[in-house]
Chain A
Amino acid sequence: MEPMDIVGKSKEDVSLPKATMFKIIKEMLPPDVRVARDTQDLLVECCVEFINLLSSEANEVCNREDKRTIAPEHVLKALEVLGFGEYIEDVYSAYEQHKLETLDSPKGVRYSGVEMTEEEAAAEQQRMFAEARARMNNGVAPQKEPEPDRGFAVPDRGFAVPDRGFDGVNADHV
């Protein structure tokens, strides 16, 4: 395999999902307009080229400002430099709106309504398993390890451990 083939193939792999692109394109056009399959492919290629161009320019803008990370501001500046200044307003307002929307969801909350980290959830699960085992062994509840007071109120999720009918009778007894 020629080295150039490998380079070409790696570039081919990095593309945008055609189905998503096709949906976006279809919604822009009147419903009775059809788009040939190879035309969709060409539009995807154009979009990838656009990202390449914008990335390169944003990288340059970032370099000129002596920054290490490409930020949205660099991308907006790149749009202006490349002649896509009319996009800036829409892009910026969409970005601002997204920031507002993501501000509502606090970090670390994985389950709605319950503020618990993964470690706490795992510990809680282990405690429930221990309680269930204790019920199976005829009500001898294990001694609870003193939990550090973190000030969290652990809500009662209402887990009901089904009563399997063990009442001390040896299960092997026939």
Chain B
Amino acid sequence: MRQAGVYSGILCGKNGPHSLPLSRIKKIMKHSGEDVKMISCEAPLVFSKACELFIEELTMRAYKVTVQGKRRTLQREDIATAISATDVFDFLLEMISASVATTATDDVRAAAKSA
């Protein structure tokens, strides 16, 4: 049983609150750069909610690609397509091009440029 207060508890899903552990978020924040300042205790809470919104947007965009392909299983390529098609997700391009098949990403980029 996790200790109350450790989790943000902000998102209440259908099956009850599922939320990201604040301690892990804080760790990632400290690892994000060399000169990271002190982090207030409320900052990880805000991060947690922002992450959930981010994941929601990315997942829903990827899901639309899945539906267009008449499939019921979300694949990595669907996420790659969603990232390539969304400007604010440009920071992820480098990461996905390293993990997803390069040809699929290139095809999507070419299609986006010609549009």
Give the B-binding residues of A (Cβ under 8 A).
10-11, 14-17, 20-21, 23-25, 27-29, 32-36, 38-39, 42-43, 45-56, 58-59, 62-63, 67-72, 74-76, 79, 82-84, 87, 90-91, 94-95, 97-99
Contacts and interface: CB of A to CB of B under 8 A. Distances in A.
6 contacts: A16-B24, A23-B15, A24-B52, A59-B36, A70-B40, A72-B45
Please indicate which of the listed interface residues B19, B50, B55, B87 has the most CB atoms of chain A within 10 Å of its own CB: B50
Interface residues of B, number: 59
A57 B41 CA distance: 18
Interface of B: 8-11, 13-15, 18-21, 24-25, 27-29, 31-33, 35-40, 42-43, 45-47, 49-56, 58-60, 63, 66, 72-76, 78-79, 83, 87-88, 91-92, 95-96, 99-100
Secondary structure type dominating chain A contacts: helix
A32 B59 CA distance: 15
B49 A91 contact: yes
Nearest to B53: A87
A79 B57 CA distance: 14
